[in-house]
Amino acid sequence: MASRIEVRKTYKLYIGGAFPRSESARTYEVADTRGRFLANAALASRKDARDAVVAARKAQPGWAGATAYNRAQVLYRVAEVMEGRRAQFVEEVSRAEGLTARRAEGVVDASIDRWVWYAGWADKLAQVLGSTNPVQGPYYNFSVPEPTGVVAVIAPQESSLLGLVSVVAPVVVSGNAAVVLASEDRPLAAITLSEVLATSDVPGGVVNLLTGRVAEVAPWLAAHMDVNAIDVAGVDDIDLRRELEVAAADNVKRVRRPDTLDWTADPGLSRIRSFLETKTVWHPIGV
């Protein structure tokens, strides 16, 4: 039997529920830890970042307006589809991070479990993070958590799947929309996750995924006036991080700084809290 010619893949971006090529038409090679070619990934540009923000802003009100129970169902469906593509995730994590198959299986299982964990919080946030406040007078006073809006996420560079899930899921569970810049050198698991999102029930635009150079794309997201917050978990360069924080200050973006290198640790609720606003409402008693 004649040997087959390898079918080399060239992946696209994920913006607004579709898979466009980069408007720049640029790509870059992705290799495994041994330097062997894996695929070509799109090299996102400033225009791609702007398009992703537009898609996120368009999708965010509808996502935030869905019932918390519905968001929980939708996000749980993502975990179901991830489970169906488990073998592909294992291979991609193994080759990207230089792990044995068994260790990669553990990472993928933890990633799916973490997505389920965050999905379970969707309809519990108001009870846990909201409150009824004591006041002097004939009023009810409620503090209610609400999504902050459009959040840019610079995904962790080393943890291509578990770290990615750990920063994306807590953003969208409360009703935010996300523009995610995947790991620069290890983007394939993120690309597969975007395919999972496209075939699940997550509305297009709620999660938008870019691949490319962090130093090239991240500053445009930090400076974008229609981005409400940014998570710089994947920015290892201190000077670049400082540049992003200065750019974010122009429209008073909330900035979430890197806070962990151990993505296997209990995630807690701190990342969900980081991208919530608290609205306080007064209501007369008896009306």
pLDDT computed for residue 3 by the predictor: 80
pLDDT computed for residue 42 by the predictor: 97
Quick one: which of 161, 150, 142, 169 has its CA closest to 269? 169
**Half-sphere exposure of 44 toward its Cβ, with a 13 Å CA cutoff?**
34
Whether the model pTM is above 0.75: yes
Domains of the chain, earliest start first: 27-284 (3.40.605.10)
pLDDT computed for residue 63 by the predictor: 98
pLDDT computed for residue 258 by the predictor: 86
Encode the chain (287 residues) as per-residue pLDDT tens digits. 668 888 889 999 999 999 999 999 999 999 999 999 999 999 999 999 999 999 999 999 999 999 999 999 999 999 999 999 999 999 999 999 999 999 999 999 999 999 999 999 999 999 999 988 888 888 888 899 999 999 999 999 999 999 999 999 999 999 999 999 999 999 999 999 999 999 999 999 999 999 999 999 999 999 999 999 999 999 999 999 999 999 999 999 999 998 877 899 988 899 999 999 999 888 888 75
pLDDT computed for residue 1 by the predictor: 63
pLDDT computed for residue 175 by the predictor: 98
Quick one: which of 263, 214, 256 has its CA closest to 239? 214
